[in-house]
């Protein structure tokens, strides 16, 4: 069974981008979603609704009378947007050959000269199937996780492609149990 290999996309001749496959978990998103649901439910029920006046009309009247309450309504929207972005989009790694930098979401991770190796860490999932994690290893010993591949071959091909860009060696390590 062939697994889909993560790929590098080029923008011009000097900038390569790679979408990071994060170890996403849906549980934090569901917990946060539950909290925000309860937050807004309690907030909307706190508005005084008289007989015959719809909730939205009461809500609008309260906002006009007390504008600072809008902060209570808008504050949770920032984490909601960030959680959705992390869950659905993930992170993007940019390899800039002109500046010789590796950027993650527009923030510098390390320079090409700081990379010692691309490390493939083999993960034994079952006796017949082996996955692999790809990381950057800095000269200071720091590791930056890039992606999890379905198989060693796809991970090695991606590592070779990245090694050509940043001029680093590719190492393979067996995962510790």
Cα separation, 79 vs 50, whole angstroms: 33
**pTM of the predicted model as reported, rounded to 2 decimal places:** 0.61
100-107 long-range contacts (CB < 8 A, ≥24 apart) are 102/136, 102/166, 104/20, 104/144
What is the model's pLDDT at position 100? Answer: 92
* C-alpha to C-alpha distance for 151 and 128, rounded to whole angstroms: 11
The per-residue pLDDT for 63 is: 80
Q: Which two tokens stand for residue 57?
A: 């009309």
CB-based contact 17:90 (threshold 8 Å): no
Question: 45: number of CA atoms within 13 Å, CB side?
Answer: 6
Range of lowest pLDDT (85-89, 90-94, 96-100, 113-117): 85-89
Tokens of 155: 């991970």
**Least confident span in 1-5, 14-18, 78-82, 101-105:** 1-5
Q: What pLDDT was estimated at residue 101?
A: 92
Which CATH class for the 91-174 domain? mainly beta
Model confidence at 2, in pLDDT bands (50, 70, 90)? very low
pLDDT tens digits, residue range 4-39?
556 788 888 888 887 765 555 677 778 888 888 888
Which part of the chain has CATH 2.30.29?
91-174
């Amino acid at each position: 069974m062939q697994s889909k290999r993560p790929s590098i996309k080029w923008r011009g001749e000097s900038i390569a981008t790679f979408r990071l496959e994060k170890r996403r978990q849906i549980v934090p998103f569901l917990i946060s979603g539950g909290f925000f649901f309860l937050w807004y439910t309690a907030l909307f029920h706190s508005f005084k609704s008289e007989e015959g006046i719809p909730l939205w009309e009461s809500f609008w009247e309260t906002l006009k009378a007390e504008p600072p309450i809008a902060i209570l309504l808008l504050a949770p929207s920032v984490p909601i947007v960030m959680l959705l972005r992390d869950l659905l989009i993930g992170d993007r790694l940019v390899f800039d050959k002109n500046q010789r930098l590796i950027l993650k979401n527009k923030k510098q991770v390390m320079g090409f000269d700081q990379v010692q190796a691309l490390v493939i860490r083999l993960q034994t999932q079952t006796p017949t199937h082996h996955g692999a994690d790809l990381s950057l290893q800095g000269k200071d010993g720091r590791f930056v996780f890039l992606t999890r591949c379905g198989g060693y071959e796809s991970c090695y091909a991606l590592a070779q492609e990245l090694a050509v860009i940043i001029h680093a060696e590719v190492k393979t390590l067996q995962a510790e149990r």
